[in-house]
Structure 1
Amino acid sequence: MSVLDEKLQNEFDKVLRRNPGEGEFHQAVHEVLDSLGPVVAKHPEYAEAAIISRLCEPERQIIFRVPWVDDSGQVQINRGFRVEFNSALGPYKGGLRFHPTVYLGIVKFLGFEQIFKNALTGLPIGGGKGGSDFDPKGRSNAEVMRFCQSFMTELYRHIGEHTDVPAGDIGVGGREIGYLFGQYKRITNRYESGVLTGKGLTWGGSQVRTEATGYGAVFFVDEILRSRGDSLDGKRVVVSGSGNVAVYAIEKLQQLGAIVVACSDSGGYVVDDAGIDLALLKDVKETRRERISTYAAERDGATYVERGSVWDVPCAIAIPAATQNELHGADAKTLIANGCQVVAEGANMPCTPEAVRAFTEVGVAFAPGKAANAGGVATSALEMQQNASRDSWSFAHTEERLAEIMRNIHDRCLTTADEYGKPGNYLAGANIAGFTQVADGMLALGVI
């Protein structure tokens, strides 16, 4: 990691001491602090009010046992988490992740990122995150339902449309949100639609929510290119992953004229120089829930590479959309050597610090996840608006609102970077713009 300003290094040392063993959280905090040297110099009031120390300490951390019974009658025990990080701008907002790798450090890293991401949307939402080390893969619908009901039986007392509004993340899609909401409704005897987002369209959900994170990342890339007098038309793109974010990033890229030539899953990646067949990809990954190798087996001209790195495929634009720390320094050097111009994080913190440094040193436009993938939570906030007004918007209207929000985030990042002497640096712009908005909110509310 790079050397921080002395005052900021002291703050980071505190984070290391107070949160041992939480590497992802340390990385997320360092990434933000690395941009804040000119901010603390310009605003001594932030130091006087201990804003950074307060920001790095969650307002509330909830850890609980989740007992449930599997289909064979065996009792299983998982661990549940909800970190309510910061509510200076509004109720805590952030997804739930169900994956075996989930532990407190992962949830805190995601929640910390969420504070600034949510601030950048310009919508009144604070930052939080949650999840469990439960793995829904290979589990029956009945097992997933029983787990979700047990999880919500504890979580319900900590959430509410004016308190904390969870959504989905890795391992938590429409099925899981439905089971969670059903249990919340049963326990509370209230149809409080705004307590969860990512709901089905027939029971309070929003158009474009499924597509929002992927679409939003592409809108951001489009704005980067427009600011440089360029466009997506004919651009060769590589997208990592093949889950929700990746699939809908590919969809919007193709709509805007780009050629997506590769995508991946945990087993390997496919290369399709003619352009990914989106209908086949959706059938393989969303309907049949099979491995990406099946796509290559059924698509003429496509090749499958087991393991390896999808970033070996030459491209003009790279969108890492799988998981944290998937794109390493060596991958970044390969992308740079192959002429990559833009990297936009579709996932949360998918680029390691070494990769980010490599991109910024050579002038590759690097859009951090807190800016580029904010479309998901932005559309969740739009879902909350619709729930509060008992309204339902059209797909076209909601997509236009999303595009407008992403344009505003892009412009705000550039403007802020210029203001603080970092012209063209989207990472610095996103970190500073998000931080100052939250910091000003915290100052206004006093020491709480």
Structure 2
Amino acid sequence: MSEPALSDPPKSPFRIGNFRAFWIARLAMTLAQYSMLLIIGWQTYNIARDAGMSVGGASGQLALIGLLQFAPLFVLTPFSGLAADRFNRRNLARMMILLQLACAVTLALVTWHDAVSIPIMFGVAVALGVARAFSGPALGSLAPNLVPAALLPNAIALSSIAWQAGMIIGPAIGGRLYEEAPYLPYAVSASLFALAIISLSFIGQVPRSVINGAKKPIGQIVEGLAYVVQNKMVLGSITLDLFAVFLAGATALFPVYARDILQVGASGLSQLAMAPAIGAGLTALWFSFSPLKNNVGPKMLWAVAVFGTATVIFGLSTNLPLSLAMLFVVGCADMFSVYIRQSLIQLHTPDDKRGRVSSVSQMTISASNEFGDFFSGSLAFLIGPVAAVVLGGVGAVLTVAAWARVFPVLRTTKTFDPPDHLLEDNPDKS
């Protein structure tokens, strides 16, 4: 445990002060990120459309935003994972949140002075990619150090609630504040990033395993990558998310649907962004009170299949209520699979490798999200936004069928219980 031993083991992660501080920081940071990211996409798309670009051309600008966020993650991931295992994870996270705060302040100032341009948006996208490359592994590998192993699935669910609550409220805050004044979403995001930094500062010293210092940094990076490849549970879980969400990610095209397909404007854009987050948040809330225990592998596969099917229906819809309903299902299914995947990865990875394994997971999440945004925007440019979303949803369903055969361990895994040797490698989890 990360705090002095208690006579009665805590029954909830919220009874642990370090986890409470972590949770508040996670919520504040996510609120800021999703409030800001929604407006970045909206401003970029409208700048392009107002400049005379077609729907396809403007979609291509959204694709570039995604690519520019992904590129730093792809390049820096091996080093960010090693940094999370070698250095103080809390301090590393605070530094990267500070970089995101600087991005928010920059966008607030240029918006205030009516000087927003696509090149500025591209530059901020790169900086955000760098920040997320290092903050993701640091925070992802910090959370398991804050609670006993028995509470880790609950902690993951509660952490996901903070994330999903930020996704729910963040876009609503961003859309509403943008209607009041375009610079306000960025100003509020800067304040929330500051709150996240302060909250992380309240986390005390956290004991964790030490990696083998005999190996040189490159050898330590290779060691982490080798563990992912050799552990079929970890590899199958990570790559399932990579390909399914990469193919079926429709979020980058929300501005296209809001302005040109559903024709619901900025308020409708906020609703589209909120719908999957509400579904995901409610699912995470359910798991925090009723953790999943049985048939976790097969249920993860079914959840991803539902995710792809709902994406197909959303892509075909021209009715806002139906679109919102399908996005709600998308969020529920995504959170279902995220909860299982993250629990399996964290519990099946020794602590001295969690930073490096988390960095690989972070890169695949980014590949499925940011690079997936680039893929979706590019595909929309080539064949149209509707066909791009539908084709992606079908691809996600086919991915499930393929992974069930290539990684049979995903079909046969019944519980979250890690192998005995991992429990021995994590004495702080007793």
Q: Give the TM-score normalised by structure 2.
A: 0.26
Higher relative contact order (CA 8 A, sep 6+): 2
Q: Which has the higher helix share?
A: 2
Q: Which has the higher strand share?
A: 1
